[in-house]
């Protein structure tokens, strides 16, 4: 990365305020800015850092009004956060990409391989698998029989994709993720032994899905576990069998979704959210971290918190009262003593 402010502004359709020839070769957080780096300011609470940062260029919103002199060259754009992300994506795409199939990889002769692939050391591509153009399979990836991988999809080291799974185009699967392992299906017999229920379905990830490190997505018992296009999963997430996740839904780390749950589009789940099985979540629902849901959410765009979760506003008010419970308990006990012994209190006043 080595760009001038003028070049960056042209790419972002922004305007330069300062030296158009100011040059950067790296990025940094605004509070840790260094000379020769690019930063951005989107959140007003970080404004204080722009007056002392050593960053050479800072991307800001068009309506940003500094309260005192700013040393870095500014690039004004409509949305600083989105513009910074777009610039990083451009830089990522411009970096040299690995290509070729390692002689240490194991590729079954019946596999169908696209063009311009990268298949790393000790990666296994099993029989009748299909790998799309431009896909990248880093070392020690396992691709099971009949798996389909779309064009431009990236599987980082150690990803395991079980047989029959389907992954769309331009997906990213991070290290340690397991796609298509058996769903948690067992039935007790008369002797209270748990007999395994065969998991005969598959997993389907549509286009532009991203799956974090060590996340697991179980295959369906029958049918498919489905993540629709644009879904983004953080690290250490568990998606149970026959779950369906709607388009552009995002989930933070350690969220767990039990089997056969249906989640709508454009939902946002904080970290450690838990959902029981066989419930339905409407479109646009937001669930705060560490919340648990045990029933359907039918209201679109609802904001929930707690375990069991309910509306965010009432929860916040209840939490204020919850913190005061010890004090309120003491007050109630004091009132009970006064009611039980009215004469004793009046005698003390005399």
The rounded mean pLDDT for the chain is 93
Token couple for 211: 């799956």
Q: Please tell me the distance from the alpha carbon of residue 116 to that of residue 314, in angstroms, as a whole number.
A: 55
H or E stretch including 173?
strand 172-173
Query: Do residue 325 and residue 261 come from a single domain?
Result: no
21, 6 Cβ separation under 8 angstroms: yes
pLDDT at 350: 45
- Angle of helix 325-340 relative to helix 342-349, nearest 10 degrees? 90
Which one is catalytic: 192, 193, 241, 278? 241
| pLDDT digits 0-9 by tens, 133-191 | 999 999 999 999 999 999 999 999 999 999 999 999 999 999 999 999 999 999 999 99
297 DSSP 8-state letter: B
Q: Where are the alpha helices (DSSP H) in the chain?
A: 5-12, 47-50, 80-94, 312-323, 325-340, 342-349
Query: Do residue 197 and residue 52 come from a single domain?
Result: no
Query: Do residue 285 and residue 338 come from a single domain?
Result: no
pLDDT of residue 197 exceeding 70, the answer is yes
| pLDDT digits 0-9 by tens, 57-81 | 999 999 999 999 999 999 999 999 9
Residue with tokens 């979540």: 281
For the segment 187-214, the average pLDDT, to the nearest whole number, is: 95
What do you get for the CA distance between the two ends of the chain, in Å? 85
Domain stops at, among 51, 66, 94: 94
Query: Do residue 111 and residue 179 come from a single domain?
Result: yes
Query: Do residue 245 and residue 116 come from a single domain?
Result: yes
110: domain CATH number is 2.160.10.10
48: domain CATH number is 3.40.1390.10
Query: Do residue 227 and residue 194 come from a single domain?
Result: yes
Query: Do residue 131 and residue 269 come from a single domain?
Result: yes
| pLDDT digits 0-9 by tens, 248-306 | 999 999 999 999 999 999 999 999 999 999 999 999 999 999 999 999 999 999 999 98
Domain stops at, among 65, 94, 123: 94
**Residue 241 annotated to the active site:** yes
Backbone conformation region of residue 44, classed left if phi is above 0, alpha if psi is from -120 to 50, else beta: alpha
Query: Do residue 163 and residue 268 come from a single domain?
Result: yes
pLDDT at 349: 47
Query: Do residue 324 and residue 303 come from a single domain?
Result: no
Q: Which of 200-214, 307-321, 335-349 has the lowest mean pLDDT?
A: 335-349
281, 299 Cβ separation under 8 angstroms: no
Query: Do residue 65 and residue 208 come from a single domain?
Result: no
pLDDT above 70 as % of the chain: 97
Query: Burial, 244: exposed, middle or buried (Cβ in 10 Å; 0-12, 13-18, 19+)?
Result: buried
| pLDDT digits 0-9 by tens, 38-50 | 999 999 999 999 9
**Three-class DSSP category at 87:** helix
Q: Is the dihedral of CA 2, 5, 7, 11 positive or negative?
A: positive
CA–CA–CA angle 296, 198, 254 (5° rounding): 45
Domain stops at, among 94, 117, 139: 94
Query: Do residue 197 and residue 234 come from a single domain?
Result: yes
Token couple for 188: 């007790």
pLDDT of residue 348 exceeding 60, the answer is no
pLDDT of residue 318 exceeding 60, the answer is yes
For the segment 324-329, the average pLDDT, to the nearest whole number, is: 84
Count how many domains the chain has.
3
Domain containing 172 equals: 100-312
32 DSSP 8-state letter: G
Query: Do residue 175 and residue 303 come from a single domain?
Result: yes
Q: With bands split at pLDDT 50, 70 and 90, how would you rate the model's confidence at 343?
A: low
Q: With bands split at pLDDT 50, 70 and 90, how would you rate the model's confidence at 308?
A: confident
For the segment 199-208, the average pLDDT, to the nearest whole number, is: 97
pLDDT at 346: 53
Q: With bands split at pLDDT 50, 70 and 90, how would you rate the model's confidence at 313?
A: confident
pLDDT of residue 341 exceeding 60, the answer is yes
């Amino acid at each position: 990365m080595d760009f001038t402010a003028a070049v960056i502004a042209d790419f972002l359709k922004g305007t330069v305020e300062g030296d158009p020839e100011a040059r950067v070769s790296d990025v940094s957080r605004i509070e840790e800015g260094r000379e020769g780096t690019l930063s951005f300011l989107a959140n007003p609470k970080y404004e204080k850092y722009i007056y002392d940062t050593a960053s050479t260029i800072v991307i800001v919103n068009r309506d940003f009004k500094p309260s005192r002199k700013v040393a870095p060259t500014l690039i004004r754009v409509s949305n600083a956060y989105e513009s910074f992300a777009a610039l990083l994506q451009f830089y990522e795409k411009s970096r040299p990409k690995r290509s070729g199939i390692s002689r240490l990889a194991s590729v079954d002769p019946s596999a169908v391989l696209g063009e311009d692939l990268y298949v790393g050391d000790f990666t296994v591509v099993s029989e009748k698998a299909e790998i799309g153009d431009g896909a990248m399979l880093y070392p020690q990836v396992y691709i099971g029989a009949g798996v389909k991988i779309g064009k431009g999809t990236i599987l980082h080291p150690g990803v395991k994709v079980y047989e029959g799974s389907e992954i769309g185009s331009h997906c990213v699967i991070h290290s340690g993720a397991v796609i298509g392992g058996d769903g948690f299906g067992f039935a007790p017999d008369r002797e209270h032994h748990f007999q395994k229920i065969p998991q005969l379905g598959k997993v389907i990830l549509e286009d532009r899905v991203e799956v974090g490190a060590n996340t697991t997505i179980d295959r369906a018992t029958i049918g498919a576990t489905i993540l629709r296009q644009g879904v983004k999963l953080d690290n250490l997430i568990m998606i149970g069998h026959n779950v369906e996740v709607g388009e552009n839904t995002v989930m933070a780390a350690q969220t767990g979704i039990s089997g056969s749950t249906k989640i709508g589009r454009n939902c946002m789940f904080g970290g450690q959210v838990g959902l029981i099985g066989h419930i339905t979540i409407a479109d646009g629902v937001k669930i705060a971290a560490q919340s648990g849901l045990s029933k359907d959410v039918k209201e679109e765009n609802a904001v929930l918190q707690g375990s069991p979760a309910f509306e965010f506003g009432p929860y916040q008010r209840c939490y204020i009262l919850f913190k005061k419970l010890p004090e309120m308990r003491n007050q109630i006990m004091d009132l009970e003593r006064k009611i039980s012994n009215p004469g004793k209190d009046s005698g003390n006043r005399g």
